[in-house]
Amino acid sequence: MCLSIPSIITQIDVDNIATVDSMGVRRQVSLDLMDQAVTIGDYVLIHVGFAMTKLDEADALASLELYQQIIDEMDAELAEASSAESTLENEQGG
């Protein structure tokens, strides 16, 4: 019910309406609830035919970079664990 769809503004139409692309689906949405100005190329959240807020691209990018860092740390930890294991095995074997 409260789901909203990330979309990109592709055209500003008349009467405070914009055309957006939501992963291949084109639709027209009202900008009546927007409290920030929007332009073509902005990312917005769409809910029942209205744009409700801009999505902060820099913020999303920072999150994705943080996640990559967390993945890298996990990979490093797993690699360390497996190398410790193989060292142990070698020692036991030797």
Return the residues of window 26-85 that contact other proteins according to CB under 8 A. 30, 32-35, 43, 45, 47-50, 52-53, 55-57, 59-61, 63-64, 67, 70-71, 73-74, 77
Place of tokens 């020692």: 91
How far is CA 54 from each of CA 34, 38, 39, 43, rounded to the nearest angstrom? 8, 8, 10, 6
In DSSP terms, 21 is beta-bridged to 8, 26
Query: Where does this chain bind other proteins (CB under 8 A)?
Result: 1-4, 6-8, 21-23, 30, 32-35, 43, 45, 47-50, 52-53, 55-57, 59-61, 63-64, 67, 70-71, 73-74, 77
